[in-house]
Amino acid sequence: MKKFSVVIAGGGSTYTPGIVMMLLDNLDRFPLRKLKLYDNDRERQAVLGEALDIVMKENAPDIEYSFTTDPEEAFTDIDFCFAHIRTGKYEMREKDEKIPLKHGVVGQETCGPGGIAYGMRSIGDMIELIDIMEKYSPDAWMLNYSNPAAIVAEACRVLRPNSKVLNICDMPVGTLRRMSHIIGIEPKDLEVRYFGLNHFGWWTSIKDKEGHEYLPQIRDYVAENGYLTQKEVDTQHTDASWQETHKKAKDLLAVDPRFLPNTYLKYYFYPDYVVEHSNPEFTRANEVIAGREKTVFSTARNIIERGTAEGCEFEMGAHAVFIVDLARAIAFNTHERMLLIVENNGAIANFDDDAMVEVPCIIGSDGPEPLSQGKIPEFQRALMYQQVTVEKLVVQAYIEGSYQKLWQALTLSKTVPSAKVAKEILDDLIEANKAYWPELH
Ligand code: NAD
Ligand code: G6P
Ligand code: MN
């Protein structure tokens, strides 16, 4: 079987160890010859890099492993780049969340003003990463988790339309695990229909391979419990604040009981509730710093101190399964069905061709083939058009350096009450993002 070379960009990410463990677990299905980590923060990466060096030596000594901050070394001779970078790191995520809250508006990593601010930081770094990859390995694929995926995907569509980049999200995969637990059927035995934008979509069908429809059964459960399950079904999305989000899906479903909602619709349907239940002094960024980041980095330090990874507890879940399965689908032309963020081009019949949408695709060596989802109802269509226009305006604002367009984007976001509040938030965000955003005029 052919063997592949993978670079993980954002090697210092909290998700890197999980993906590496998953790659090791899948060597029989997706064999590796090389694995490299690449980050622009030497110190942060060194901790995970050295710990994973021990893991690799103990588990797969034949795979050439290295970690580096040098782009040429990282991107030469690779078949895949798995990207999950965070421009500005948690320090800036905290500001994305806290600045809007100061103005009584949702403070969230990827939705509303926080997501817009993060988008303005991510675009430049992502485009640079694509260019580096194409310079050193022109045939490679980039599988990108870096957020905000909706804005990054639109930037790729506009600025690098021919690049081999697939933007992905783990939320539908994670939620499908919950649905699968509810009905007692393995996720791999389910086929879904879904339409929407990233972090803004709905399932319209959940069937087993024989064609039996489970949506009504899942809907009855979600109407009572949201996506909360008695037993934990994944290693991700388990903190108390996530449980609250899974539970809130009950109120999302109530707005349109025909379809099963993505959890992220909470920020658009119930922004008042979200603000009331947020602590402006301690947001999700603070929880992650005190939780996942601490756990992952102390596990790594512990491995380095002990000099062995025996009994090591790096977690791997649906997030890691998805990216490894996707790479395998491209590598071996498997034509599996997965949700990806792609240019619409008719997949949603009554939505703009040039919108980046999230829909099921058949995926093989030539990339994704989006599956037709038919026409969508006017309620969802109108919401999506508003949100996709926010995303398009952000990308235009970035390219043109336009204050006006970014103000319009914030004003149009369903999470922001008025142009006045939008302007106040924008001016604070500009100040906080001076080191990252292009100058606006
Ligand atoms: P993290 O801060 O722990 O990791 C990000 C890493 O990227 C850091 O080590 C940082 O130094 C590095 N980095 C920043 N800019 C870089 C650049 N230009 N080149 C190389 N490296 C760079 O963050 P995390 O919580 O582990 O998340 C990583 C990313 O994955 C974030 O963008 C997050 O939003 C995203 N994510 C997306 C999904 C999804 O559904 N799409 C799911 C989970 C995480
Ligand atoms: C989900 C989303 C990601 C997002 C993550 C945040 O997995 O799909 O896009 O980055 O949640 O999780 P966190 O634990 O960092 O708040
Ligand atoms: Mn996501």
**Amino acid 322: pLDDT:** 98
Backbone angles phi, psi at 347, to 5 degrees: -60, -45
Contact 406, 397 (CB under 8 A): yes
Nearest partner of 305 among 47, 85, 82, judged by Cα: 47
User: How close is the Cα of 68 to the center of ligand 3, in Å?
Assistant: 27
Instruction: Say if residue 327's pLDDT is above 90.
Output: yes
Which residues share a beta bridge with 339?
360
Q: Name the maximum alpha-carbon separation found in the chain.
A: 60
Is residue 170 in contact with ligand 2, taking CB distance under 6 Å?
yes
Tokens of 326: 């996707």
Residue 24: pLDDT over 90? yes
CA 339 to chain centre: 12
Number of CB atoms found within 10 A of residue 217's CB: 14
pLDDT at 311: 87
Structural Rg of the chain based on CA atoms: 21
The pLDDT tens digits of the residues spanning 191-226 come to 999 999 999 999 999 999 999 999 999 999 999 999
**C-beta of 147 in contact with ligand 2 (< 6 A):** yes
Which of ligand 1's atoms lies nearest the C-alpha of 293? 3
In tens, the pLDDT along 123-166 reads: 999 999 999 999 999 999 999 999 999 999 999 999 999 999 99
ipTM field: 0.99
The predicted structure's pLDDT at residue 394:
99
Which residue has its alpha carbon closest to ligand 1 atom 32? 146
pLDDT band of residue 328 (cuts 50, 70, 90) is very high
| Among 65, 118, 264, 267, the one annotated catalytic | 264
pLDDT computed for residue 312 by the predictor? 81
- Upper half-sphere CA count for residue 4 (Cβ side, 13 Å): 25
Query: Ligand 1 pocket by C-beta < 6 Å: which residues?
Result: 9-10, 12-15, 39-41, 44, 84-87, 89-90, 125, 145-147, 149, 169-171, 319
Residue 288 Cβ < 6 Å to ligand 2: yes
Residue 343 CA to ligand 3 centre (angstroms): 17
List beta partners, residue 437: none
Look at residue 367 and give its three-state secondary structure.
strand
pLDDT at 320 over 90: yes
Q: Is 264 a catalytic residue?
A: yes
